[in-house]
Amino acid sequence: MTAIKRLYLTETEVDGLLDMELALEALDDVFRARSSGDVRNEPRRRLTTGNGAMNFMAATWPSRGWAGHKSYVNGDMRVMLYGTNGEGLLAVLGAGRMGQVRTGAASGIATKYMARENSSSVGMIGTGNQAETQLEAVCAVRDISEVKVFSRTTERREKFASTMSERLDVNVVAVDSKEAAAEGVDVLVAITNSVEPVITGDMVEPGMHINAAGNNSWMKRELDTMVVAKADLVACDDIDQSRIECGELMRAVETGHFAWESLVRLDRIVGGLRTARYSDDDITLFESQGVAFEDIAVCGRIYELALEQGIGTELP
């Protein structure tokens, strides 16, 4: 066996190697692989630490030769990447920035395969750290010409609009309500940590695609139950993880407005096993929880690039 280079990659080094194009390609590949049964995912587990939680999630992709896990406490994130053909540990990667980009990329993949092909407008609710990559990913997969953004703080939404207009060369405007952000758009994105819904059923219009990407807690909801009920198709990155983390769907099931049997894994749509929409008027919803196989796919690509470019600190 060829000698294995085991690397430690810092947050700064990961950031220098990673871009949205790489993340979108990596996720497209891993979703297709999962649709054929080649990828295994272990949902996130949370162990109490007294004043927080130890988070742990794992996945394997045997045909690609990768396995690994992400763990974090108080936002300090690391991915351990392993080879599945006897290599053992391949890399330890700082995973904060990686998680931000891959979360955006997951919504990008959902938009690519679920939104109308002629979608040209986006509504954003939320302007935090994750919102930038959400919008970047959507603009990478659709020809977007208009974006409306709302957050509770005027200064933050205006700054977001200015920054993203310049970065993406798209007309991004700040609006003064979440209803205004949703009105008339093709793609609506919720990227908040809100406990109570920021998208309600009366904000949803025919033909709309919705990405709900901000929460992964049974105690929080970005969407009310009527949004779920109005959707013609609801997809997620992992059903098992959604059943323990997705507050919107858990509440909809409890009230009889949704059944877990109706939930579709996004990989089945990407792999051509399920049609996302049968009409331009269909309403589609992607519930993003953030799963380990997405992390492993992106980190595997980063590791390969690091080897090619001689980046990282070699581990014994």
Residues labelled catalytic: 70
Question: What order of strands is seen across the sheet that includes strand 76-83?
Answer: 40-48, 53-61, 66-73, 76-83, 88-94, 6-9, 313-315
First CA to last CA distance, the chain: 17
Identity of the amino acid at 109: I
Give the whole-angstrom CA distance, residue 256 versus residue 270. 28
Q: How many CB atoms lie within 10 A of CB 56?
A: 17
Q: How many CB atoms lie within 10 A of CB 233?
A: 20
Give me the residues paired with residue 199 across strands: 223
Asked if 226 and 206 count as a contact pair (C-beta separation under 8 A), the reply is no
Contacts of 136 (CB under 8 A, 6+ apart): 20, 104, 108, 164, 167, 168
Nearest to 211, CA basis, from 241, 239, 180, 248: 248
Give the whole-angstrom CA distance, residue 300 versus residue 119. 32
